[in-house]
Chains A and B, each alone.
Chain A
Amino acid sequence: METIAIPAINMSVIAPEMILSVVAMALLLINVFVKNEQKGYLGYLSIAGILVTLYSLTIGWGAPQDGFSGSVVQDNFAIFFKGIFLVSAAMSILITDQYLQREGCNQGEVYPLMLFATVGMMLMASGTDLMTIFLGLEVLSVSLYVLAGFNRGSIRSNEAGLKYFLLGAFSTGFLLYGMALTYGATGTTKVVKIAAAAQSGMVSSNLMLVAGMLLMATGFAFKVAAAPFHMWTPDVYEGAPTPITAFMSVGPKAAGFAAFLRVLLVALPVFKAEWSSLLWVLAVLTMTVGNITALYQQNIKRMLAYSSIAHAGYILVGFTAGNAVGTSGILFYMLSYAFMNIGAFAVIILVGKKGEENNNLADYAGFGYKHPALGVAMCVFLFSLAGIPPAAGFVGKFYLFSGAIQAGYIWLAIIGVLNSAASVYYYLRVMIYMYFKEPTEDFNWVRLSPAFIICLIIAIAGVMIPGVVPGTILELAQKAILM
């Protein structure tokens, strides 16, 4: 019997993931001893865990290292994305407790599940082995399926969970098939080794690798809700509990893009011409379908779902460019999108009351006069989503589109700007209802808890500060690109 040589493991590479998983498992145990009304404290504990994880991330900045025989890497790119995941998870957890108590489904397991989902996203961002990326995606997806159906008493929530599960499992099949074909063509699952193998003409001329790339692109496009793989988005976003919708409209999308970027930019740069033209079509379709459908929505959650599809399209514009400006634009935009989108969903939660979500546009009539501070906050988020200066959304879009122009995709940038202009209509419509319609309700049920105030302040700061002085964050984003 020969002994097995254990390779260098290097635990410090996965330290953030380990800290967060341990916190999640500890919360599962603590949950048993916490009374039903006090489950909110679990949320604060998980935020403490997230802060520790964030601190452990900052240590690794600027000193890339890999571990587990090349299965994971901790580089600036991964750290920046993990920062986005952690910030968006913390903000979503802040707004979770009040909603769940109102709807009468405050089970403490929601926090460990959200943390597990975050661990999955972090593994996707730092995975350099197709197996790691796939398993990270599965950890993320399984947690999200449950979270989408978390409100068991609501038929819409059940529908959302089941629909997401069926379609998600189906799309995972595409991703896995793509990975299998890539493995078959190159003989390895490590991203760097795939790139080395694809250098030889024998491998790159093999259609099997192209088919593998296309199938993987299909799987990732489903996860980031790019058209024509977006059909699940509005139903799932509408049916899922609102804090969960906020959570899954940002983090998983960013995680999908992180893994997608790493696979295409690091493993398959040989096919850059092919995948750019593929992403060009996807970007145009996604922006246009998302924006045009959003114009017709009366339900604000559905409208934001279609708008999130459109935003995936803007990010695909930067991805198509595939250059330094476009990629740093993606990082910057994903971060500011986290603040503006979760902020908007926080206001949506406050407008609803038990049993009545009040998600129709007509329910917002006069809201801006009854609650001026919340009205202004909502306007800031919507302006940022529409890409109007000085909000961060404008700066982000500016860099995404200028990346496309630098790479010579003039028409793509023009279509993007036109789409962005069309989107102003449906964002402004919410404001028109808030300020120009007579109030029919007195909104006396709106209760601002400290957690909500903290979340909204963070969101407004996150939208306005990078919008006015984008320098610092943009510098970080430029250091975090893969090239």
Chain B
Amino acid sequence: METLFFSIVAAIAILMSILVIRCKNPINSALSLIMTFFCLATLYVMLEAPFMAAIQVIVYAGAIMVLIVFVIMLLNIRTESGRRTQHALFLGAATGLFLLFQTWYFLSRSSLTGAKGAIDSAAIAKVGHTELIGQSLFTEFLLPFEITSILLLAAIVGAVVLAKKKV
């Protein structure tokens, strides 16, 4: 039952992500991207990560997509005219098939059961999923968490430098 559900969700995700790059109208691409994000959120739920699923829907499917659609509207991007060049299509297909073959080879030769971390479903049931994420953010991954603030500051300064009107 679970496998069947996974297959359906994964198939929709793949179909939608193909539509993202194949649609000629950018709004349609953006809407397909939202569907892809929803499918990913569903996969997170199946992995017992409800917090990640909620964040995926709120941040990606919500906030970021609103931005993308806004940009499309503000820039008034028209439906893509002109045909894609044939050799680019061929190269892309060839590379994609090669990568697909590599993935198949890799999967057929190895087991995907790696090492397990310290936290299992018993720990999640005891403390709670969101609490565990918060805990590791403020204990084990405190430094990476703080570096993120520097990263965001640098990105904001950079965006202002590149976009402000008067030099």
In the complex, 5 of the A-B residue pairs with CB atoms within 8 angstroms, ordered by the A residue number, are: A28-B157, A71-B141, A113-B158, A132-B143, A146-B154
Complex CA–CA separation, A277 to B93 (angstroms):
30
Tell me whether B154 and A113 are in contact (CB under 8 A).
yes
Are A207 and B110 neighbours in the complex by a CB distance under 8 Å? Answer: yes
| A149 contacts B110, C-beta separation under 8 Å | no
Question: In this complex, what residue of A is CB-closest to B107?
Answer: A207
Q: Nearest chain B CB to A215's CB is how many angstroms away?
A: 11
Interface set of B (CB-CB < 8 Å, partner A): 106, 109-112, 114-117, 127, 135, 138-144, 147-148, 150-151, 153-155, 157-158, 160-162, 167
Query: Which residue of A72, A116, A143, A207 is within 8 Å of B106 (Cβ)?
Result: A207
User: Which residues 247-278 of A have a CB within 8 angstroms of B?
Assistant: none
Please give the distance in Å from A239's CB to the nearest CB on chain B. 14
Query: Contact: B144 with A139, CB < 8 Å?
Result: no
Q: In the assembly, what is the distance between CA of A335 and CA of B151, in Å?
A: 27
Which residues on A sit within 8 Å (CB–CB) of B151? 135, 138-139, 142
Q: Which residues of chain A from 139 to 161 have any CB-CB distance to chain B below 8 Å in the complex?
A: 139, 142-143, 145-146, 149-150, 152, 161
**Interface presence of A281 (CB below 8 A):** no
**Closest A-chain residue to B117, C-beta based?**
A187
Which residues in A have their C-beta under 8 angstroms from that of B115?
185-188, 197, 203
Tell whether A169 is near chain B: CB-to-CB under 8 Å.
no
* Known A107-B167, A109-B161, A150-B161: A142·B155 in contact at CB below 8 Å: yes
Q: Which residues of B contact A139 (CB under 8 A)?
A: 147, 150-151, 154
The reply to whether A146 and B139 form a contact with Cβ atoms under 8 Å apart is no
In A173-212, the 8 Å CB interface with B consists of 184-188, 197, 203, 206-209, 211
Chain B residues contacting A184 (CB-CB under 8 Å) are 112, 114
Chain B residues with Cβ below 8 Å from A109 are 157, 160-161
**B143 pairs with A187, CB closer than 8 A:** no
User: Known contacts A7-B140, A68-B142, A107-B161: does B116 contact A119 (CB below 8 Å)?
Assistant: no
Contact A142 B143, beta carbon cutoff 8 Å: no
Total contacts A-B at CB 8 Å: 109
CB-nearest residue of chain B to A209: B114
Cα(A119)–Cα(B157), bound, Å: 15
Residues of A within 8 A of B141 (CB): 71, 129, 131
A123 close to B (CB within 8 Å): yes
- Given the interface contacts A142-B158, A146-B161, A150-B161, does A21 sit within 8 Å of B143 by beta carbon? no
- For the complex, what is the distance from the CA of A161 to the CA of B161, rounded to whole Å? 13
Given A184-B114, A185-B115, A208-B112, does the pair A14, B143 have CB atoms closer than 8 Å?
yes
Question: CA–CA, A252 to B157, complex, Å?
Answer: 20
Q: Please, how many angstroms separate the alpha-carbon atoms of A146 and B155 in the complex?
A: 8
Tell me if B144 and A6 are in contact (CB < 8 A): no
- Shortest Cβ-Cβ A-B pairs, 6 listed: A187-B115, A146-B158, A207-B110, A68-B143, A131-B144, A185-B114
Residue of A nearest to B135 (CB): A4
Taking CB atoms, residues of chain A closer than 8 Å to B135 are 4
Q: A6-B138, A69-B139, A186-B115 are in contact. Are A149 and B162 (CB under 8 A)?
A: yes
- CA of A72 to CA of B146, assembled, Å: 13
Asked, given contacts A107-B161, A135-B148, A207-B109, whether A188 binds B117 with beta carbons under 8 Å apart, the answer is yes
Chain B residues whose CB sits within 8 angstroms of the CB of A67 once the complex forms? 143
Question: Could you tell me the distance between the alpha carbons of A121 and B122 in the complex, rounded to whole angstroms?
Answer: 39
Cα separation A350 to B115 with both chains bound (whole Å):
57
From B110, B139, B142, B154, A116 is in contact (CB under 8 Å) with B154
Closest beta carbon of chain A to B131's beta carbon, Å: 9
Cα A142 to Cα B112 in complex, Å, equals: 33
Q: Are B139 and A203 in contact (CB under 8 A)?
A: no
Given A185-B115, A211-B106, A135–B147 Cβ distance below 8 Å? yes
How far is it, in angstroms, between the C-alpha of A5 and the C-alpha of B139 when the chains are bound? 8
Nearest CB to that of A147 among chain B residues? Answer: B158
A25 interface hit (Cβ, 8 Å): yes
Q: How far is the CB of B80 from chain A (nearest CB, A)?
A: 19
A95-110: CB near B (< 8 Å → 1, else 0) gives 0000000001101010
Whether B162 lies near A152 (C-beta < 8 A) is yes
Does A329 touch B at the CB level, under 8 Å? no
Q: Is the CB of B139 within 8 A of A206?
A: no
